[in-house]
Amino acid sequence: MMHLHDIENSDPSKYRLIGRSVLSYRFIAPHNETLYIGDIKKITDTTKQSTFFAKVTDLSHDSNFADPKWDTRAYTEQFYGLGEDVFVTVDAVPLGFVDADGKFHKPRTIPSKFSLVEDPDAGDFRFLTEQMGEIEVGLMRSGQDVLADVAVRIPARVLPQHMGVFATTGMGKSNFMKTFCASCMQKKKFGLLIVDPHGEYVSGGKSSTGEPTRGLVHYTEGKDGLAIFTIRGENDRRKYSMNRLFLEYDDFRISDLSILYDLTSPQYDIIEAFSRVPGKDVIDFFADVDPEIFPIKDPAAAGIREGSLSWQIRNSMGGPVRVIKRHIENLVNGNQAFFRPTGSAIPEILKNLHDNRVVLIDIPDMGERSELFVLSVITRMIMEKHRSEARGFGIDDRQESSHQVLITIEEAQRVLASGGSSTQVFRECAMEGRKFGVGLCVVTQQPKNVDPKVLAQINTFVVMGLGDRGDREIIMGSAKQDLSKMEIEIQTLDRGEAIISTIGIPFPVSTRIHRYEDYIAGLNKEPKKNIRDGLDSGF
C-alpha cells in the first residue's frame, strides 16, 4: 500500500556543527537570530563525551539557494518560508574541550559532525574558574552578555613576566588600571609601581567621558595594600595617610637625561663620561661649571686637576656642556617639589614594593618630563636592587628573586619605541627584568610604535578597543595565544571590554572589566577576615 511520510516541520539544520577543521568551526543559525561576535558557544559531543567551546568570530548571511543574487533582485519584497533556507552562517574559533573527566584540553581534535551547539552557562566554565589566577579584573563576557559567575582573574605568577594594556583613549584604560590596582591591593601578591602625573589615581577625578571617578584611597578595605608617595600638601597627606615623595640628588644618574631630552652625539659623550658619577656630584659640577672654558686645550694651565669632572670632559666643546648644564638646571628647578640634595624616599618605596603593595607615585601637575624622570630613577633603582640580590644567589640556589615587582609605564611608546638606545633602563627591564623578578606593565594606545622585541617579551595581553588596523595586527602577531581569528571582536570591543590573553589562562578570554567604583564598593563591603581564621596558606 502506497503511503506518505510526513517530513518534520521542525528545522534540525540549525545549531549543529557543520564545520570544517580542527581550528575552524561553523554552524548555521536562523536568519533572524541575534548573535554577537565574541559569543561563546558550547558544542556537546555525545559520541566523544566531550564538551567543546568555541568563540564566534564572524557572522554572515547565507542561503541554500543556487542563485547568488536571489536577495538583490528588485522585486525581492516578500518571501515565504524564508527561515529554512536563509540563515546566518556562524564562524567560530575553537577554545578547547573538556573531556569526560572534566579536564580541559587544547583543541587538538574536532567535535563529531552535527554535534549540538548551545549557549553555555556558568557551570560549564567551572574548569576555567579553577584555572583562573588571583588578580580579578572583570567578568567573562560572551558576546553582549557577561557570565556573572565567571570572574576573570589574571594569575599573579605570570604578571612579572610583563603585561601589556592596549587601548585607545576612552576605552576604559584608566578604569582597568584602577581595578587592577584594587585587586593587587587586596591580594598583595607582588609589588606594583605606578607613577601618576595627573593625580587621578589617588582620589579619582573625571573620566575621559566626563563622569566623576573614584581613586585608590576610596578602596578603604584595601588600604594596607597601598602606599602613596606624593608631593601634595600636608593636609592631603594626613587625610589619606600618604608619604612625602622625595628623591635625592644621588638617586639621579646623568644617563636619566637621555630619557628626558633628545641628545646629540657630543652631548652623549658627556653622558657616557659621567655615567658612573654620583648624581649629586654631577649636579654640583654643572651648577658651578662655566661652559665657555671648553674645550680645555691645556688643563694644567687652566687649573684643571687630572681626574676631575672637568678634566674628564676636557675635549668637549662649550655648546654640548652648555646644553647639559641647562638640562640639569631645568631638571633640578622643575622638580624642586620632590628633588633635593639629600633625603630620599626610594628605600621606603622599594620596601613597600617588596612588601607586595601597590606604590603610587602621585605627582599632580608635574608634567610628562617629571613623570619620566621619577619613573626612570625608580626603575633603575629597582633593577639595581634586584640585580644585586640575584648576584647574591649561590650556585645551588633557585635563580629566582624572592621579590616580584611590576612597573607600570603609561604611554609606553615614549620610552619603548624601536631603536631607542636612550631608554636603556626600560629596555633592560623589558629584556632582562623577568630574571630578577621585575616586570613591566606596558600601557599604550599605539602598540605599533612599541619595539616588537619588547612586545615579544610580554606574556599577558589586555587588549581593549583598538581602532587602528596596524595596532591590531601587531598585537595579534605578538600575543602568545592566537588572536588572529578575533580581529573583528577586537575591532568591535566596546568601552570597558577587553580580551585578556595570558599564558596562565587556557584561551583568550573576553572580559567585561569591572567598573572600578562598583568593584571597590563590593570589596569594601566584604567582611574583614578574622585573624583567628588563620592564613590562606601555611608558612
Partner 1 sequence: MKDEYPNAVKEAAGRIRAKVPANLVEKFASACWIRHADFISCTPSSCGEVCAIDGSNVMLLESGSMALTVVRAARTSFIDMERSRRSVTPMTFALIGPDEENQDFPVLYADCFGHPPGKPLSNEDFTRAAGILRDTVEYWVTEQAARDLPAGSLLLRDGPLRVSHASHDPVLTRIDRACKEKEIGLAGISKVTSATWGGGHPLLPSISGLAKNLGIKAPWWIKIDPAILDHAQFPQWTHGEMYVALLHPKARSPLKIELPKDASRDRAGHIMDRLAACSADGRVPGYPYPLLDAHRTVVIGEDVVEKLKSDILGRLTDAGMDRQTYEILFGDYHDAFARY
Size of the site for partner 1 (CB under 8 A): 21
Using CA atoms, how far apart are residues 211 and 208, in angstroms rounded to an integer? 8
Helix (H, G, I), strand (E, B) or coil at 162: coil
Site string for partner 1, 404-443 (x = CB under 8 A): ----------------------------------------
Longest Cα–Cα distance in the chain: 128
Query: Nearer Cβ to partner 1, position 73 or 297?
Result: 73
At its nearest, how many Å lie between partner 1 and the CB of residue 84? 9
* Residue 10 makes contact with partner 1 by CB under 8 A: no
Q: What one-letter code names the amino acid at 199?
A: G
Distance, in Å, from the CA atom of 129 to the CA atom of 123, rounded to the nearest integer, reads 9
Inter-residue contact 320 to 268 (CB < 8 Å): no
- Binders of partner 1 in range 55-114 (CB under 8 A): 65, 67, 70-71, 73-81
CB of 34 vs partner 1, minimal distance in Å: 22
CA end-to-end span of the chain, whole Å? 84
Q: Report which residue type is found at 41.
A: K
Nearer to partner 1, 77 or 533 (CB): 77
Name the minimum Å distance from CB 75 to partner 1: 4
224 phi and psi angles, rounded to 5 deg: -65, -20
Binding mask 18-57 for partner 1 (x = CB under 8 A): ----------------------------------------
Nearer to partner 1, 83 or 467 (CB): 83
List, in sequence order, the alpha helices (H) in 132-241: 173-187, 200-203, 234-239
Q: Please give the residues from 290 up to 319 whose contact with partner 1 meets the rule CB under 8 A.
A: none
- Closer residue to partner 1 in complex, CB, 58/85: 85
Shortest approach of partner 1 to residue 31 CB, angstroms?
Answer: 14
Nearer to partner 1, 75 or 539 (CB): 75
383 vs 397: CA distance, rounded Å: 20
Query: Smallest gap, in angstroms, from Cβ of residue 19 to partner 1?
Result: 19
**What is the nearest approach in angstroms of partner 1 to the Cβ of residue 111?**
24
- In terms of CB distance, is 5 or 297 closer to partner 1? 5
Among 1, 100, 301, 395, binds partner 1 (CB under 8 A): 1
| Pairing, β 40-45 against β 50-63 | antiparallel
Report, in Å, the least distance between residue 74 CB and partner 1. Answer: 8
Lookup: cell for 1: 500500500
Angle (deg, nearest 10), helices 173-187 and 516-525? 20
CB contact burial 345-382 (16+ within 10 A = b; e otherwise): bbebbbebbbebbbbbbbbbebeebbbbbbbbbbbbbb
Between 9 and 530, name the residue whose CB sits nearer to partner 1.
9
Closer to partner 1 by CB, 81 or 233: give it.
81
CA distances from 508 to 328, 472, 489, 503, 504 (A): 46, 15, 12, 9, 10
Query: Closest distance between partner 1 and the C-beta of residue 91, in Å?
Result: 24
- Closest to partner 1 by CB, 67 vs 101, is 67
Nine cell digits for residue 108: 587538538
| Least distance (Å) between residue 30 CB and partner 1 | 15
Instruction: Tell me how far, at minimum, the Cβ of 1 lies from partner 1, in Å.
Output: 6
Residue 151 pairs in a beta bridge with 139
Of 7, 395, 531, 535, the residue at the interface with partner 1 (CB under 8 A) is: 7
Question: What kind and span of H or E run contains 473?
Answer: helix 469-478
Which is closer to partner 1, CB of 4 or CB of 301? 4
**Contact indicator for 42, 117 with CB cutoff of 8 Å:** yes
List of residues contacting partner 1 (CB under 8 A): 1-7, 9, 65, 67, 70-71, 73-81
